[in-house]
Amino acid sequence: MTAPLALDDVRTAVARLAEQAHAGAPTRERERTVLSELVTALRATGLPRLRVPRELGGAGASVADLAALLVEVAAAESNLTQIVRGHLGFVELLLQRRDDPVAASLLAAAGRGEIFGPAASSKAAGSGAPGGAAGVVTDGAGTERPSGQSLTDGVWLHDDGEGLRLSGTKYYSTGSWFADWINVLVPADDGFVEVVVSRTDTGVQVVDDWNGFGQRLTASGTAVFSAVPVPEDHVLSLRDPDVARYLEAFYQLVHSATQAGITRRAADDAASLVRARRRSYPLATVPEAARDPQVLHVVGEVASRALTTRATVVAVGAALDAFTGAGPAERAVALDRAVVESAATQVTNSRLAGEAGWLLFDAASASAVDADKALDRHWRNARTIASHNPSIYKARLVGEYVVHGTLPDSPLTAQGRPQTSAV
CB 163 within 8 A of CB 229: yes
How does residue 150 score in pLDDT terms, banded at 50, 70 and 90? low
Question: In angstroms, rounded to a whole number, what is the distance separating the alpha carbons of residues 390 and 401?
Answer: 18
pLDDT in tens, 240-299: 899 999 999 999 999 999 999 999 999 999 999 999 988 888 878 888 888 999 999 999
State residue 162's pLDDT score. 86
State residue 99's pLDDT score. 85
Among residues 255, 360, 343, the alpha carbon closest in space to that of 305 is found at 360
Give 139 or 247, the one with higher predicted confidence: 247
State residue 32's pLDDT score. 93
Average pLDDT, the chain: 89
- Kindly state the average pLDDT of the residues 199-219: 93
Give 284 or 417, the one with higher predicted confidence: 284
Question: In angstroms, rounded to a whole number, what is the distance separating the alpha carbons of residues 323 and 293?
Answer: 45
State residue 416's pLDDT score. 41
- Kindly state the average pLDDT of the residues 138-152: 44
State residue 122's pLDDT score. 80
Question: In angstroms, rounded to a whole number, what is the distance separating the alpha carbons of residues 97 and 100?
Answer: 6
State residue 8's pLDDT score. 97
Run of H or E residues at 93? helix 85-96
Task: Give yes or no for residue 9 having a pLDDT over 90.
Answer: yes
pLDDT in tens, 20-46: 999 999 999 999 999 999 999 999 999
Task: Give yes or no for residue 129 having a pLDDT over 80.
Answer: no
pLDDT in tens, 317-348: 999 999 999 999 999 999 999 999 999 999 99
- Kindly state the average pLDDT of the residues 143-155: 55
State residue 389's pLDDT score. 85
User: What amino acid is encoded at 82 in this protein?
Assistant: Q
Question: In angstroms, rounded to a whole number, what is the distance separating the alpha carbons of residues 224 and 413?
Answer: 26
Give the HSE-up count for residue 230: Cα atoms under 13 Å, Cβ half-sphere.
26
| Helix ranges, 153-292 (H) | 241-276
Run of H or E residues at 230? none
So what CATH class is 7-114? mainly alpha
- Number of Cβ within 10 Å of residue 36's Cβ equals 11
Query: Any idea how long the chain is?
Result: 423
Task: Give yes or no for residue 147 having a pLDDT over 60.
Answer: no
DSSP string over 320-374:
HHHHHT--TTTHHHHHHHHHHHHHHHHHHHHHHHHHHHHHGGGGS-GGGG-GGG-
Distance of CA 321 to the CA centre of its chain: 18
Domain 118-237 listed as CATH 1.20.120.450: no
State residue 152's pLDDT score. 52
For the chain, the distance separating the N- and C-terminal CA atoms, rounded to the nearest angstrom, is 34
Enumerate the domain spans of the chain: 7-114, 118-237, 241-415
Give 132 or 47, the one with higher predicted confidence: 47
Question: In angstroms, rounded to a whole number, what is the distance separating the alpha carbons of residues 333 and 213?
Answer: 39
Contacts of 291 (CB under 8 A, 6+ apart): none
State residue 136's pLDDT score. 35
- Kindly state the average pLDDT of the residues 224-228: 96
State residue 130's pLDDT score. 39
Per mean pLDDT, which range of 30-34, 223-227, 311-315, 364-368 is the poorest?
364-368
Per mean pLDDT, which range of 108-122, 179-193, 297-311 is the poorest?
179-193
- Kindly state the average pLDDT of the residues 104-117: 96
State residue 408's pLDDT score. 83
State residue 239's pLDDT score. 83
Its sign, for the CA torsion 354, 360, 365, 369, is negative
Task: Give yes or no for residue 315 having a pLDDT over 60.
Answer: yes
State residue 153's pLDDT score. 55
How many percent of the chain have pLDDT more than 90?
74
How does residue 377 score in pLDDT terms, banded at 50, 70 and 90? very high
State residue 410's pLDDT score. 61
What superfamily does domain 241-415 belong to in CATH? Butyryl-CoA Dehydrogenase, subunit A, domain 3 (1.20.140.10)
